Structure 1
Amino acid sequence: MLSRIDLRGEALSSLDARALRSTLPRAEFDVEAALDAVRPICERVEHGGVSALLELGEQFDGVRPPQLRVPAAVLDAALAALDPAIRAALEESIRRARLVHADQRRTEVTTQVTAGGTVTEKWIPVDRVGLYVPGGKAVYPSSVVMNVVPAQLAQVGSIAVASPPQRDNTGEFAGYPHPTILAACALLDIDEVFAVGGAQAVAMFAYGARDDEGSTICEPATLVTGPGNIYVAAAKRLLKGLIGIDAEAGPTEIAILADGTADPHLVAADLISQAEHDELAASVLVTDSVALADAVDEALAARVAATKHHERVQIALTGRQSGTVLVDGVEEGLRVVDAYAAEHLEIQTTDASAVAARVRNAGAIFVGSYAPVSLGDYAAGSNHVLPTGGCACHSSGLSVQSFLRGVHIVDYDRRALEEIADVVVTLANSEDLPAHGEAVTARFEARS
C-alpha cells in the first residue's frame, strides 16, 4: 500500500539536513504557479466589489449567493436547526479550546532598565480579522472554532468569517455557506459572515467590498487566517503586506514515529484519517520495524476498502507524498521526523512521552496510543490550524499570539538618558549616522 524509503545503515548517515528533507515524501504544492490564476481574481474584487464577488461565487462555486453577507435570520435558523448532538459536540469543542487558549493570553511586562528608564512590552490585538473557513470536499465547523476562539480571547474588536456558498443548500440556506458552518458562527456570536470562498475571500478581506451604490458591505481586515486550497494560499502570498496572514497552508500531513510495540491497526486508522481530507494529503510512517510496516500495509488494505472515501484515500496513500520510511532505531527516526517537520506528528513508541519531549520540529505532537490526530482536529483543546510543508521548523500553529502585536513602550527621564548618552553617540558614529547621536546630545545643549 505505502511505498518505502529505506534509510537504514549508511543511507541516513550519508545525508545532511537538506538532502534528507528532499529524500522524504512531500506533496507537490506550487503556490508560485497559482499566482497567475489568482491575480486577475483579486483585481476583479478590488475594482468590482460586491458585484464581482457574487459573480465569482457563481463561476467557481456553481451558485450565486442571494447576498454577500449572510442575514442574521439565516444564522439564527441554522443554529435552531442544528442537530442537538452536533451542537453539544461543538459546545464541548469550544469549551476545551477556550480552556487551552485562555492560558496563551499575554500580560504586559515593564522592565526597569535603569533608574528613570523603563521598557514596557504591551500586547495589542489587531483591529480586524478575516477568518477563512474552507468548504470543498468536507464541511469544517471545527475550523470556525479553531479560528474564532483565539481571536476572541485575544480581544480582537472586529471578527468576520468567510466560507464558500454551497450549491446543494436548499430553502432559506440556498446560496449560503453550509448550515453547520453558519450554526457554529452563531454559537460563537459571530454575526458577520460572508458567502465567499477561495482567493476572492482573501481579496475581499484585503480590499474590502462595496456594492453598486457605494455602501461598504465588508470593511478591509488587518489580518487573514485560516486554511484553504492552493488558490487561497496564493492569494495570501499575493496580498501579504496589504494584509497580515497566518501562513500559506498546504495539504494536510501526518507523520507517525512508531516502533515494534505500536498497534498496526491504530497506525493504519490514523494514516487513513488524514488521507481522507484530500488526494494530496500526506501520510508518512517512520519506523524501525519491518514487521510493523508489513502489518500496517495489511491493515491499510482492509481499512481503505471499507472506508467511505476510499478512492480519495487510496490516491493519497499511493501518491508521492505518502510512504513508509525505514530507519535503524527510534534515535534515527527522530532525526527523520525533525527533518520532515510534519503538521501532525504522532509518537507511538515505548516511552512515548520521553520520545515526544525530544522532538524539535512539528506543528503539533500527539503522544501515545490514545492521542490520535483526530482528537486534536476536534476536541483536545489544541488548535488544528498548523504549519504544513515543512514550515513547522520555523512557524507555529494558530494561537492567541497570532492575533496580538508586541509593542515596546520606552520611557526614559533626563537623568536616565544622560547616563546612556555616550553609548548611543558612540554606536551611532560607528555606523556613520552622526545625526542619531546628535538627536541625543541636542537634549543637553544650552539654549539662549
Structure 2
Amino acid sequence: MDALAEAVLAEAAADELEKLPVPTEYLAAHTRVEDIGMFGDAEDKDVRKSLRVGRVPMPELAPDEVLVAVMASSVNYNTVWSATFEPVPTFAFLKSYGRTGPWEKRHDQPYHVLGSDAAGVVVRKGVGVRRWKIGDHVLASPIQVDDQEAVTHADGMLGEGQKAWGYETNFGGLAHYAIVRSSQLIPKPAHLTWEEAASTPACAGTAYRMLVSDRGARMKQGDIVLIWGAAGGLGVHAVQLVKNGGGIAVGVVGSEEKARVLRDLGCDLVINRSELGIGDTDGHDPAQVIEAGKKIGKIIRREIGEDPHIVFEYTGQSTFGISMFVVRRGGTVVTCGSSTGYRHQYDNRYLWMKLKRVIGSHAANLAEQWESNRLIDMGRVMPVLSAVHPLEGIGEAARDVQNNTHIGKIGVLCLAPKTGLGVTDRAKRDRIGEDRINSMGVTSHV
C-alpha cells in the first residue's frame, strides 16, 4: 500500500495528506479491451472470467475534479453489463467520450476501471474546486454531468453530457482511488461505516427520483406501489421510501428468504412470484402476460383492496407487460432499467384506453441525490447490505448480482482493511440503533 493510502487509513490530518505524493499507479477492478470477444456465443457469460484486479496508471486531475481514496464501493448491475460486454462493450463509450476534449481523452484507455458507487476521503482537489477540501469524507453520485450545458441547470439528467460514472466514464469506484467531479460529491453520513455508506448512492438516489421526485411518479400518501425485484438493491430502497412517504408497499420477490427480508423492512404485502409462475417467461406471450397480471392483481385486490397506483419497474422484458396490465386506470409505470431484456411487449390498449402513463427514469440529479442522502443521514432510510467482499473478490461479488442470488446490496472493501470502519458519530449510530442499521447482518468474505 502506498504512503498516501496508509496516511488515510491512519486518519492523518489534511495538511499531512497534502504533503504526501500521489502514487503513479493504483489497484483497480477493470475490464480489458482485448477481452471483448472472449464469451463468443456462450449462454453463460460468467463475469468472474472478465473482471480483472490489477494496477493501472494514475490519471492527471482536471481542474473541477477531486481524487478520492476509496474506502469502499458496491456492485451495481452496470458492472455486470460492463463485464459481459453487453448490450455494447463500454470501450465504445470511452472512445466516443475521449474525442470530446483533452481532459476527456484520458478516459479512452485499453482498460476500464468500473464502479458507480464510492465512499472515501478526498486526498487531492483541482484548482477549480471550491466547496470541498482535502480530508472530507464523501460519497460519489453515480452521474457525471456537464455543468456548461444549459439544460443541466434545470435537470442534470436531461443533459446530453450526463454520463453514468464508472460505466460510461473511466476511473470509477471499484478501486483504491477514483476520479470524481466535484459536482458529484455528497457528504458521507457520519453514523455509517464505509461499506454501509457506499451501498446507498446509486440505488437510493435512483429509487428517490422514480418515486418521490416531481420528475418521477410523484408518490403521495396512501398510494399503492407494486415493486418488482423488491429485495434487490433498488427494491429495498424503494420499499423504504414508499413506507417513509406514507405509501403502501407491495413487493414481488422470487424466494421465501427474500420475502422474510421484505417483511422485516415493513413491506405491507409480499408476493413470492416463484409460487405463482409470475415473471418466469420472456414477456412476449400475450396470454401468459394477461394470466400473470390477473393472478397478481387478484392478490393485491384481495389483500389491499385496490389496484396499484404505481408500478416500480426495472426488471424489464419479463415483467413490463404485466406491469402495464395490472396498474390501475390512470396509474403510472415508472421504469429505470431492463435487467431481463430490453425488448418490451405490452398491449397498448391498456395504456391509451385506461389513460395510464409510462415514465422513463435514469439515476438522479445531484439535488435528488442529496435529498435521498438526507433521509439516510436522518436514519429514516437504512442501507440494506447483505455481503461484503474484498476488492480482489469482485468477480464473486458481481457473479451474485449477475445470478440474482443476492439480497439488497453487495459491498466491496477497497482501501478499508476490514468492515466496521468509518463511523465518526457513534452517538448518532447508537440513537438510530444498530439493529435497525444492520437489520440483516452482513456476511463478510474479507
Question: Normalized against structure 2, the TM-score is what?
Answer: 0.28
Question: Normalized against structure 1, the TM-score is what?
Answer: 0.28
